Structure 1
């Protein structure tokens, strides 16, 4: 088996995941990971699948495109290789960074620049921008992995300074604490 990453994009509607997974099942592919979301009215799905060696990448694309293009969906496939995996992964701990504030250009760029400068990996980002100056209408939630050898004091200071400059409220919590506090 070889591994492929498959991205599916298009206007949201019921049945997209059913169509993708049916095609993959019919081609004897095994779904290993899925991440799917809807942004505004656009569907975005990423599937990592094991594909039989006998199924060519061209044939897989043809099956997916033939089945999904009538639904107005676009599909892209990429073969995964050992070279795609990070060679070294830093020891890290999961944290959640939440910002709230008025909507303006550059919010995500400003926060992620600080995170990148401290070798912090963003593993998940949810951003809801409804516009305007209501700080509760514009929220960004970053799930991040902070290296265990990072200087947390300097990272927090840099994030707070950037948030202040962009008129954002910011909180930084260990993911376990965040989940315990926000559990329903």
Structure 2
């Protein structure tokens, strides 16, 4: 029996309509592929999905060869890339970041720059805009999972992060990930 430890990252984008997830996941099931991780959302009128699947090498190759027809039948832009299973890093500590602020341009960039300058990897991020209850004020939220190098002094990082957030008028939390 061939090894099933072959991985593919698939991203798809197209006009939102009912049934896309149904058709896409049915196709993956037909190819005997297992979805390991995925994110799906609708942004404006566009559907977007990102997923990692696992299967036999030859099954992944069949899916890759079927991409032109798959793109046409689903009406999606689809990109696939082979990958490896990510090994946990013993030298990184999992932390989560939550930020809420008045909505204004540059929040994500400034956060990304803060962490990048300290060699901290952003591993997952979700952002959203919304109107504050009662006032309707435009608000922005960010939730991130980050990998903090184990050699970084956490108290110093937390102090620097809170000072950074204060300077940008961001309400934020930086705490260990509870798994």
TM bucket, shorter chain: 0.7 to 0.9
The 8 Å contact of residues 97 and 142 in structure 1, kept in 2 or not, is answered as yes
Q: What CA deviation, in whole Å up to 9, does each residue of 1:104-158 have, x standing for no partner?
A: 2211111111112223222221111248997772111112222332112221232
Please name the residue that 1:100 is paired with: 100
Structure 2: 5+ residue stretches without partners: none
Q: Residue 182 of structure 1 corresponds to which residue in structure 2?
A: none
Offset from partner CA, 1:74-113 (integer Å, 9 cap, x none):
100112258xx57x93423322212221222211111111
What is the alpha-carbon root mean square deviation over aligned residues?
Answer: 3.1
Aligned residues: 173
Equivalence for 2:83: 80
Runs of 5+ consecutive residues of structure 1 not aligned to the other structure? 180-184
TM-score by length of 2: 0.76
Q: Compare the two structures and name the one with the higher strand fraction.
A: 2
Is the helix fraction higher in 1 or 2?
A: 1
Contact 2:8–2:60 (CA under 8 A) maintained in structure 1: no
Deviates more, 1:106-115 or 1:134-143: 134-143
Preserved CA contact (<8 Å) 2:131 2:138: no
